[in-house]
Amino acid sequence: MSFLVDSVIMFTSQVLFFGFGWLFFMRRLFKDYEVRQYIVQVVFSVTFAFSCTMFELIIFEILGVLSSTSRYFHWKVNLYVILLVLIFVVPFYIGYFVVSNIRLLQRQRLLFACVVWFTFMYFFWKLGDPFPILSPKHGILSIEQLISRVGVIGVTLMALLSGFGAVNCPYTYMSYFLRNVTDSDILALERRLLQTMDMIVSKKKRIAMTRRMMYQRGDDQNKQTGFWGMIKSVTSSPPGSENLSLIQQEVDALEELSRQLFLETVDLHATKERIEYSKTFQGKYFNFLGYFFSIYCVWKIFMATINIVFDRVGKTDPVTRGIEITVNYLGIQFDVKFWSQHISFILVGIIIVTSIRGLLITLTKFFYAISSSKSSNVIVLVLAQIMGMYFVSSVLLMRMSMPLEYRTIVTEVLGELQFSFYHRWFDVIFLVSALSSILFLYLAHKQAPEKHMTL
Amino acid sequence: MASLDRVKVLVLGDSGVGKSSLVHLLCQNQVLGNPSWTVGCSVDVRVHDYKEGTPEEKTYYIELWDVGGTVGSGSSVKSTRAVFYNSVNGIILVHDLTNKKSSQNLYRWSLEALNKDSSPTGVIVTNGDYDREQFADNQIPLLVIGTKLDQIPENKRSDVLTRTAFLAEDFNAEEINLDCTTPRYLAAGSSNAVKLSRFFDKVIEKRYFTRDGSQMPGFSERKRYGAGNSKSLHYD
């Protein structure tokens, strides 16, 4: 009986998540496009719903909601469905839509989509070879094979985004890094842009007029038909044409310049807005947060290096450690069991909410930047794939942040994976990503003021 | 010969509707082979015979300014785009017939362009919402062009065309529906070509001819190659 009730609760929450994913897709992602293939929207919302359900099950685990057998059952079901979606459904549809865009292969869409899917599966399988992720007692078709590979990809993604985010966040928040931009700089650049446009216009006028004259003269010339007419038209080229190609080259160069100037002007406008924003109260608050985050970022990089150099993996989670410190060193006595449950709930809840929100925002920005009306379906599906793998791996890694008694369910469900490997791999990629982001931002920052000094 | 009078026409619309192909077709009479993203603004020039075939025939340059981007861009992109909206004599609004959202966004595009325009008629817009009266008051000629007509199946065509007719009515403008990859839609003598010609004539009239028929001085004597244009430049 209670199993039925539990299932109903789970199902309702899944429907809610599905609705949220659907709305997000319609209102945010596909704001400027028309949804013509509803299957894309369905697949995206399903991936989102099942990923969120996994997080929900972790919360339920901590709070002790629903009976533990039904929780275990739902974990397993959810995991199978998500793996099915991430490995079979989404890649197949990505292949299908990519193939649909290519005109040559339109007829045999299904066939080529299957071919693409098989190539994906081959590389996906090969991915597992260089990593020590499985113990030999697992068979070839066990669920652990699939999860371990999904975990590798997802953890790499998480670490990359994390590393870049950890460095980029203080860089954007702090006003220390803002270049000084005045109104006159912007006006000067805009004037240059308009001057360039005027030069392009006058050259194009010459081209248009020369073409028109050639066309009119060509009409008279073409009236000479016959053998001699053909010979004449081959040997004598109209006088304007070499001139035209020269002007056309100048126009191309000027157009490239105008594009550069446009992008620089946009950049200056954006910087000016940021400067104005930083003077407001909100801006000052974010500036302060930026300093805080930069310290946090440095600490994380330091810890990652220590972990790798000294080859250690953290044994206890922050909650238990915090409680230990409070109880042993500060001498405050309280009901450990009660508080550990609540604190881990809050901590895990915060981690889940921020990671979902952060990922959705990043994906939206990414989508706006690179999508076009032809490729929007493919890109959304790729984003759904990334989202699914990201969420599965965050469950995997979150295991470390939970006290022992809650860890068991995750270990049971995901099977005997080498969890310590994933943490080590996360540290390595995080370090690489953070250091290269620092290098990249340093170069970009250095290069920008030099550009404007030449004005 | 470069001293012909000129008018400036903006070509606005969402990303990917086919503005660059359209401008290329209008100016070069050729189909654009490899369309790519327009960054910033790309200009092309069409030589147009005003009042063709009559004794008052005169040749003008029509500058088609194809401004790229999306209507929901960040404010820094919008502020930069505003630089191109100065002293505009006509606006061509382009939308994709297969994508309803691009037609809806045309309202926002026109408001963005008309807001920034510093023409003497002073179109006053308060809160950015669509208001038909603004367009009735508007002195700048508008033209609505729908692209990708070939991708609409025959049975859906009449619905789509009714919808676009309402759209054009809202803007108090003529409309043309075509496919930028076949030049036959704009072949000389077709109704589309006549509408286009009428639009350009209207733009030239509004700019150069006051209501009583006397001609306003052109800019050709005063314009120098490479003269700087500051933001508050008016044609007076």
Backbone angles phi, psi at B88, to 5 degrees: -95, 140
- Single out the residue of A98, A142, A140 nearest to residue A117, CA to CA: A98
Residue partners of A37: CB distance under 8 A and separation at least 6:
A97, A377
pLDDT value at residue A256 = 86
The mean pLDDT value for A253-271 works out to 85
CA dist A432 and A439 (Å) reads 11
Taking the CA of residue B84 as centre, how many other CA atoms within 13 Å lie in the half-sphere pointing to its CB? 30
Q: Is B29 on the interface with A (CB under 8 A)?
A: no
pLDDT value at residue B184 = 77
Of A263, A368, A372, the CB nearest to B16: A372
Does the distance separating the beta carbons of B43 and A204 come in below 8 Å? Answer: yes
Q: Is B101 on the interface with A (CB under 8 A)?
A: yes
CA dist A425 and A74 (Å) reads 29
Grade residue A11 by pLDDT with cuts at 50, 70 and 90: confident
| Lowest-pLDDT range of A136-145, A176-185, A338-347 | A136-145
CA dist A304 and B9 (Å) reads 58
Q: At what angle do helices A143-173 and A376-398 cross, to 10 degrees?
A: 100
pLDDT value at residue A89 = 87
Amino acid symbol at A444: A
- Single out the residue of A165, A243, A166, A251 nearest to residue A210, CA to CA: A243
The distance in angstroms from the start CA to the end CA of chain B is 23
What proportion of chain B, given as a percentage, has pLDDT over 90?
0
Residue B188, pLDDT > 80, answer no
Does the distance separating the beta carbons of A265 and B80 come in below 8 Å? Answer: yes
Mean pLDDT score across all residues of chain B:
75
Mean pLDDT score across all residues of chain A:
78
Q: Is B14 on the interface with A (CB under 8 A)?
A: yes
Distance from CA of A420 to the nearest CA of B (A): 43
pLDDT value at residue A450 = 55
CA distances from A128 to A142, A153, B187 (A): 13, 10, 61
The mean pLDDT value for A223-237 works out to 58
Nearest residue on chain B to A267, alpha-carbon basis: B76
Of B14, B74, B84, the CB nearest to A32: B14
Residues in chain B within 8 Å Cβ distance of A191: 228-230
Under 8 Å between Cβ of B87 and B118: yes
- pLDDT tens-place string over residues B114-173: 776 544 444 444 444 555 666 666 778 888 888 888 877 888 888 888 888 888 888 878
- pLDDT tens-place string over residues A241-254: 667 788 888 888 88
pLDDT value at residue A241 = 65
- Single out the residue of A300, A299, A278 nearest to residue A289, CA to CA: A278
- pLDDT tens-place string over residues A114-151: 888 888 888 888 877 777 665 555 555 567 777 888 88
pLDDT value at residue A318 = 66
User: Residue B91: helix, strand or coil by DSSP?
Assistant: strand
CA dist B153 and B150 (Å) reads 8
Q: Is B39 on the interface with A (CB under 8 A)?
A: yes
Distance from CA of A239 to the nearest CA of B (A): 17
- Single out the residue of A230, A249, A404, A253 nearest to residue A316, CA to CA: A404
Does the distance separating the beta carbons of A201 and B226 come in below 8 Å? Answer: no
Under 8 Å between Cβ of A381 and A407: no
How do beta strands B174-177 and B142-147 pair?
parallel
CA distances from B163 to B99, B158, B170 (A): 12, 9, 11
DSSP labels for A103-117? GGGSTTHHHHHHHHH
Under 8 Å between Cβ of B57 and B50: yes
- pLDDT tens-place string over residues A387-417: 888 888 888 777 777 777 777 777 777 766 7
| Lowest-pLDDT range of A10-19, B78-87, B179-188 | B179-188
pLDDT value at residue A29 = 79
Nearest residue on chain B to A200, alpha-carbon basis: B43
| Lowest-pLDDT range of A30-44, A322-336, A431-445, B1-15 | A322-336
Residues in chain A within 8 Å Cβ distance of B230: 187, 191
- pLDDT tens-place string over residues A83-92: 888 888 888 8
Q: Is B87 on the interface with A (CB under 8 A)?
A: no
Q: Is B85 on the interface with A (CB under 8 A)?
A: no
Grade residue A437 by pLDDT with cuts at 50, 70 and 90: confident
The contacts found for B45-51 with CB under 8 angstroms, 24 or more apart, are B45/A201, B45/A204, B45/A205, B45/A207, B45/A208, B46/A208, B47/A208, B47/A209, B47/A212, B47/B4, B48/B197, B48/B200, B48/B204, B50/B200, B50/B201, B50/B204, B51/B201
Distance from CA of A193 to the nearest CA of B (A): 9
Residues in chain B within 8 Å Cβ distance of A37: none
- CA B143, B147, B149: angle at the middle one, nearest 5? 125
| Lowest-pLDDT range of A48-62, A225-239, B105-119 | A225-239
Grade residue A335 by pLDDT with cuts at 50, 70 and 90: low
pLDDT value at residue B229 = 42
A278: which 2 tokens? 């930083």
Does the distance separating the beta carbons of B61 and A205 come in below 8 Å? Answer: yes
Q: Is B165 on the interface with A (CB under 8 A)?
A: no
The mean pLDDT value for B90-108 works out to 85
Under 8 Å between Cβ of B72 and A29: no
pTM of the prediction? Answer: 0.70
Nearest residue on chain A to B86, alpha-carbon basis: A194
pLDDT value at residue B120 = 40
The mean pLDDT value for B49-61 works out to 78
Q: Is B104 on the interface with A (CB under 8 A)?
A: no
